[in-house]
């Protein structure tokens, strides 16, 4: 019995003598690595937060990547203390990462597109945009998707890969917008009088800018009418109210002044019978 105890004790002493320093070193490396990972994350967040217009989502994303990178290096260093060949392990992890990347190709492309959208900022939350064939107000922009709300309150989720790969029309980017109208008058009406009336109505609306000045010109001699092109500028938030109100005001003013807006019509001239 005593011989067995002495044998076990000797084996424990041998193991401690062989691996004791490695265990202590591994624990020290692990503790230091975890502390360093936290410090690296906080340092990355502080550094990126000083960059103007750098999104908070990206700050957290890159800070997490730095943290996990430090932790991965720490684990490899711990394993090397026990004689494990880390080169082979890195190769295996690389192959596994490649397989996962191929399997999640669509998701990773959306993440990459999300990073580009957050960095270059073609639009922000609250902008009214048209992207990937969808139009609406941006409700949220994440690393994976862009969320839109349509004017009739329909929620649309668009993958960032589709957003980044298509043309982006941002109706809220500029502070002002131009309202374009086409007003048709009869061929018998006085064009100059009609132009004068349009400019008078545009001057009455204080939402319409006088610089650039309202513009009215003959745009087309159509089949049934002389079409006048009307262009006025306003703040972007007043675009639709100005468009609707000005259209109504011009119709009512034309009616009161005897200027007609003709219905579509076709005049047919028949040659006299020569027979």
In this predicted model, what pLDDT tens digit does every residue of 222-235 receive, in sequence order? 988 999 999 999 99
Whether residue 101 is predicted with pLDDT greater than 90 in this model: the reply is: no
- Of the two residues 31 and 230, the one the predictor is more confident about is 230
Q: Highest mean pLDDT: which of 50-54, 97-101, 195-199, 261-265?
A: 195-199
90 DSSP 8-state letter: H
pLDDT of amino acid 174: 94
Q: What is the mean pLDDT of residues 149-165?
A: 92
Q: Highest mean pLDDT: which of 59-73, 86-100, 226-240?
A: 226-240
pLDDT of amino acid 157: 93
Provide the greatest CA pair distance for the chain. Answer: 142
Cα torsion through 11, 16, 19, 24, rounded to 10: 160
- Of the two residues 136 and 101, the one the predictor is more confident about is 136
pLDDT of amino acid 215: 96
**d(C-alpha 141, C-alpha 145), whole Å:** 6
> Percentage of residues in the chain with pLDDT exceeding 90?
41
pTM above 0.95, yes or no: no
pLDDT of amino acid 11: 64
Domains and CATH numbers, the chain: 2-103 (1.10.287.1260), 122-170 (2.30.30.60), 176-257 (3.30.70.100)
**d(C-alpha 232, C-alpha 208), whole Å:** 7
pLDDT of amino acid 44: 80
Task: Name the burial class of residue 109, with classes exposed (0-12), middle (13-18) and buried (19+) by CB atoms within 10 angstroms of its CB.
Answer: middle
Whether residue 274 is predicted with pLDDT greater than 80 in this model: the reply is: no
pLDDT band at 261 (very low <50, low <70, confident <90, very high): confident
The mean of the pLDDT values for the chain is: 82
**d(C-alpha 234, C-alpha 206), whole Å:** 9
Phi–psi pair at 162, nearest 5 degrees: -75, -35
pLDDT of amino acid 152: 93
pLDDT of amino acid 58: 66
Whether residue 15 is predicted with pLDDT greater than 60 in this model: the reply is: no
pLDDT band at 155 (very low <50, low <70, confident <90, very high): very high
pLDDT of amino acid 83: 66
């Amino acid at each position: 019995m005593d011989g067995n105890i002495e044998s076990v004790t000797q084996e424990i002493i041998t193991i401690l003598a062989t691996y004791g320093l490695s265990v202590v070193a591994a624990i020290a490396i692990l503790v230091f690595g975890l502390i360093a990972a936290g410090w690296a994350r906080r340092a990355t967040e502080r550094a990126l937060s000083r960059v103007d217009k750098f999104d908070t989502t990206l700050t957290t994303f890159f800070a997490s990547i730095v943290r996990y990178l430090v932790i991965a290096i720490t684990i490899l260093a711990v394993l090397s203390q026990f004689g494990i060949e880390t080169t082979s392990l890195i190769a295996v992890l690389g192959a596994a990462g490649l397989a996962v990347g191929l399997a999640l190709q669509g998701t990773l492309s959306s993440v990459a597109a999300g990073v580009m959208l957050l960095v270059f900022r073609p639009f922000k939350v609250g902008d009214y945009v048209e992207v990937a064939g969808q139009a609406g107000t941006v409700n949220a922009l994440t690393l994976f998707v862009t969320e839109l709300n349509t004017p009739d309150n329909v929620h649309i989720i668009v993958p960032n890969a589709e957003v980044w790969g298509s043309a982006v029309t941002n109706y809220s980017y500029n502070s002002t917008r131009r309202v374009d109208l086409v007003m048709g008058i009869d061929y018998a009406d006085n064009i100059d009088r009609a132009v004068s009336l349009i400019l008078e109505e545009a001057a009455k609306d204080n939402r319409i800018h006088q610089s650039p000045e309202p513009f009215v010109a003959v745009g087309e001699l159509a089949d049934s009418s002389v079409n006048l092109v009307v262009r006025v500028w306003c703040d972007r938030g007043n675009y639709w109210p100005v468009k609707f109100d000005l259209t109504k005001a011009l119709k009512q003013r034309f009616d009161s002044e005897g200027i007609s807006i003709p219905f579509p019509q076709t005049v047919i001239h028949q040659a006299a019978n020569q027979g």
